């Protein structure tokens, strides 16, 4: 099982930027699709972005053009660059590893993931 540790959250003003990082343990990282999800108070966890082992990407509609997911297999790390942040982006952000390996399918929902980090808080003030 992959162990995941997120970092990079914090408080930022509307229109600002943050970059989240997720360090993963395990020798299978390069074979696993990864993703980011978020959960705001009183709401269900929602998919934000996913990246396959080959680098294909998928984004939730509300973050397209503002967020970018990337991975560095040499560092066992996945990133989420968040630009033009809005107050509605406020949530706990979770890094997750897919529950399958060596597939070009890009994760699209929480059901595609089997391992989760502890989460990092992102707060965007208006």
Per-residue model confidence (pLDDT) at position 2:
81
Q: Does pLDDT of 77 surpass 90?
A: yes
pLDDT in the model for residue 28: 86
Q: Cβ(99)–Cβ(112) under 8 Å?
A: yes
Q: How far apart are CA 61 and CA 90, in angstroms?
A: 16
Tens digit of each residue's pLDDT (9 = 90 or more) over 100-113: 888 889 999 999 99
SS3 state of residue 88: helix
Q: Cα–Cα distance between 95 and 115 in angstroms, integer?
A: 8
CA distance 80 to 52: 14
- 20-67: pLDDT as tens digits: 999 999 778 999 999 999 999 999 999 999 999 999 999 999 999 999
Average model confidence (pLDDT) across the chain: 95
Q: What does DSSP assign to residue 55?
A: -
């Amino acid at each position: 099982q992959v162990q995941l540790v997120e970092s990079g959250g914090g408080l930022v003003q509307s229109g600002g930027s943050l970059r989240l990082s997720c360090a993963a343990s395990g020798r299978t990282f390069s074979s696993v699709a990864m993703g980011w999800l978020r959960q705001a108070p009183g709401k269900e966890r929602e998919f934000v972005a996913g990246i396959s082992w080959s680098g294909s990407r998928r984004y939730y509609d509300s973050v397209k053009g503002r967020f970018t997911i990337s991975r560095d297999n040499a560092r066992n790390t996945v990133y989420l660059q968040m630009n033009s942040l809005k107050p509605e982006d406020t949530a706990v952000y979770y890094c997750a590893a897919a529950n399958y390996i060596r597939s070009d399918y890009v994760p699209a929902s929480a059901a595609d993931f089997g391992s989760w980090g502890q989460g990092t808080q992102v707060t965007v003030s208006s």
